[in-house]
Amino acid sequence: MKEGYVNKHEVVKRINKLKKERNAVILVHNYQIGEVQEVGDFIGDSLELSQKAARVNEEIIIFCGVHFMAETAAILSPNKTVLIPDDSAGCPMADMVTAEDIRKWKKNYPGRKVICYVNTSAEVKAECDVCCTSANAFKVAESVEGEDILFAPDKNLASYIARKSEKKIIPWDGYCYVHNNIRARHVREQRQKYPDAEFWVHPESRPEVIDMADKVLSTGGMVKEARTTRKKNIIVGTESGMVYGLQKENPGRNFFPVKEMALCSNMKKITLRKVLASLEEKKYRVEVPCDIADRARGAIEKMVKL
Span 56-101, pLDDT tens digits: 999 999 999 999 999 999 999 999 999 999 999 999 999 999 999 9
Residue 33 domain flag:
yes
The Cα-based distances of 245 to 177, 187, 224 in angstroms read 22, 21, 12
CATH code of the domain in which 34 resides: 3.40.50.10800
Give me the domain span that covers residue 203.
182-257
Residue 294 domain flag:
no
198-224: average pLDDT = 97
Q: Which helix (H) or strand (E) holds 230?
A: none
- Which amino acid is it at 245? G
Q: How confident is the model at residue 304 (pLDDT cuts 50, 70, 90)?
A: confident
pTM of the prediction? 0.92
C-alpha to C-alpha distance for 198 and 204, rounded to whole angstroms: 18
Number of neighbours of residue 76 by Cβ within 10 angstroms: 22
Across the strands, what pairs with 26? 62
Give the pLDDT of residue 2. 47
C-alpha to C-alpha distance for 189 and 194, rounded to whole angstroms: 9
Final residue belonging to a domain, choices 175, 208, 236: 175
Give the pLDDT of residue 1. 43
pLDDT at position 122 over 80: yes
Kindly report, residue by residue over 47-57, the tens digit of the pLDDT: 788 789 889 99
**Total number of domains constituting the chain:** 3
pLDDT at position 197 over 80: yes
Sheet arrangement for strand 215-216: 215-216, 198-201, 233-237, 254-257
Residue 306 domain flag:
no
Is there a single domain that holds both residue 85 and residue 99? no
Give the pLDDT of residue 177. 97
